[in-house]
Amino acid sequence: MRTRKSKEEKEPPAPKAGGTIEVAPSDAARRMLVRQFRLRIIAGPDTGAVHVSQGARMVIGTDESADVRLSDRTVSRFHCEISHSDGMVVLRDPGSRNGTLIDGVPVFHAALCDRAVISVGRTQLRVEIGPEHIKIPLSERERFGTMAGRAPSMRALFAMLERVAASDATVLVEGETGTGKEAVAESIHRESPRNKGPFIVVDCGAVPHDLLESELFGHEKGSFTGAVNRREGALEAASGGTLFLDEIGELSNDLQPKLLRALERREIKRVGTNQYLPIDVRVVAATNRNLRAEVNAKRFRPDLFYRLAVVQVHLPPLRERPEDLPLLVEHILKSLGANEHPEADALRTPAFLEELARHAWPGNVRELRNYLERCLALRERQPLNMESGSTEQAGVPIASHRPLREAREQWTAYCERRYLDDVLSASGGNVTAAARAAGVDRIHFYRLLWRHGLK
């Protein structure tokens, strides 16, 4: 039976200073409240215009798809974006041409406060955070496909994915390394009408450039050296199902128009033939790069970006949803068959979960899984700093209670992960450049990243 809301329940109180996200007190199971904000243009060609946020994210730029579209020619196509993150309104500059300033200070990533002035090119925008709220629906589920989460940000994601899965729309999944982008793609497939069809995965960064076209589109016998048989590509093999294109940002310039044609016309041409074949496939793409920055830098075609980003999914990092740790730990332990390990009980205690919550988890859910798997394999809890490779630690404890071989392996893994993390950061997240700097083959570098939970 439905009850009438009291007058006080109709409009929830404003959140505390600095807070921008809360769960609706009278409807906590079904919606989340996000503080609405306005951007008032106070200088530049578009002075006087006011833009009101309609969701949890707002993009500023000259592109026609931008939420705040400016006519200022000194502004990049996708100049910067504002979103709600970890209870704050946050601005990120993905790599604009002329940079972004907040109250005169150049920034790449910074929290915004009420009345702050954002400068982009010759344009200035004043942030106005008012008492109004945007209602974001939440799923009542704590699991979606292979994913698990009870944090409001994850339940909002599940609510969106429930609607997306029922369609055939192309999806672009963005998020930090290890947040579970492949899990999103697989979950969409499992929950969609295509779940009886195949789920095919292609890592665009791990396949050598000269073989990726054949991997995607297939080839005819004799079309190139080594093509001893006809081979169907991933787009053809995934017919009736879903194709997951991981690391789509690594796709070369010459393959981008070919993929665009395949997505738009729903047909492909194998290497070595002029005959086009129809395909029936849903595509989910993922990247840990900011594709808007790649578009700004002219490394990624804007028309392909639009075609992939029909629906955009942003995965929150693990550090922003610590309340999910108990559920994730149980979910991961179950998938690892932890019931056969008596040591697993020590990984479920409140004290252990509190320790996990204090960790930054730079490798996100993948790092958590690797850490728990290591604890089970070695039959004891492991130091968290050994997994994170944190440079903030003065040193790593010597595991003198173990055999020399095990202690050496632990130190080697620690050193290897630190090295990979540093060389990847120095290369701006570009795996190809990082592999070149490390003096190893890109495929081998990818295997190392997978081994240490960095990809």
For residue 92, pLDDT over 50 is answered with yes
324 vs 353: CA distance, rounded Å: 10
Candidates 162, 124, 126, 168; CA nearest to 145 is: 162
DSSP conformational letter for 321? -
266 vs 243: CA distance, rounded Å: 13
**Residues 6 or more apart from 252 whose CB is under 8 A from it?**
209, 212
- The region that residue 391 occupies, defined by phi over 0 for left and psi between -120 and 50 for alpha, beta otherwise, is alpha
Exposure class string for 165-174: b at 16+ Cβ within 10 A, else e: beeeebbbbb
Residue 415 has, within 13 A of its CA and on its CB side, a CA count of: 6
Distances (CA, A) of 160 to 5, 200, 312, 417, 438: 27, 23, 10, 35, 40
Phi, psi of 418 (to 5 degrees): -55, -45
**CA pseudo-torsion sign 308, 310, 311, 315:** positive
Q: Which of 36-45, 225-234, 261-270 comes out lowest in average pLDDT?
A: 225-234
Position 2 scores a pLDDT of 37
**Residues 6 or more apart from 87 whose CB is under 8 A from it?**
18, 19, 20, 21
For residue 301, pLDDT over 90 is answered with yes
The residue-averaged pLDDT of 333-358 equals 85
List the beta bridge partners of residue 282.
Answer: 242
Position 275 scores a pLDDT of 87
Residue 254 has, within 13 A of its CA and on its CB side, a CA count of: 5
Q: What are 401-450's pLDDT values in tens digits?
A: 556 665 666 677 778 777 887 788 777 677 777 888 888 777 778 777 77
Question: In terms of DSSP H, where are the helices of 336-363?
Answer: 350-357
Candidates 12, 311, 272; CA nearest to 135 is: 12
Percent helix, strand, coil in the chain (nearest 5)? 35, 25, 40
Position 309 scores a pLDDT of 93
The residue-averaged pLDDT of 246-270 equals 93
What mean pLDDT is reported for the chain? 84
* Amino acid, res. 178: G
Position 401 scores a pLDDT of 56
Place of tokens 């809890």: 381
DSSP conformational letter for 271? B
For residue 273, pLDDT over 90 is answered with no
Position 18 scores a pLDDT of 44
Q: What are 312-345's pLDDT values in tens digits?
A: 999 999 998 999 999 999 999 988 887 777 778 8
For residue 389, pLDDT over 70 is answered with no
Tokens representing 19 are 């807070």
Q: Which of 13-27, 115-129, 353-367 comes out lowest in average pLDDT?
A: 13-27
Tokens representing 99 are 């940079």
For residue 239, pLDDT over 50 is answered with yes
How many whole angstroms from its chain centre is CA 331?
Answer: 20
Position 257 scores a pLDDT of 95
Instruction: Band the pLDDT of 285: cuts 50, 70, 90.
Output: very high
Position 256 scores a pLDDT of 96
Q: What are 43-89's pLDDT values in tens digits?
A: 999 999 999 998 888 999 999 999 999 999 999 999 999 988 766 88
Tokens representing 254 are 């010459």
- The region that residue 448 occupies, defined by phi over 0 for left and psi between -120 and 50 for alpha, beta otherwise, is alpha
Distances (CA, A) of 270 to 189, 275, 307: 25, 8, 21
241 vs 199: CA distance, rounded Å: 6
For residue 5, pLDDT over 50 is answered with no
For residue 388, pLDDT over 80 is answered with no
449 vs 250: CA distance, rounded Å: 16
Position 7 scores a pLDDT of 37
Question: Cβ(291)–Cβ(174) under 8 Å?
Answer: yes
Position 228 scores a pLDDT of 66
Strands 171-174 and 147-148: unpaired
State the Cα angle at 205 between 83 and 154, rounded to 5°.
Answer: 30
**Residues 6 or more apart from 161 whose CB is under 8 A from it?**
144, 184, 187, 188, 191, 313
Look at residue 171 and give its three-state secondary structure. Answer: strand
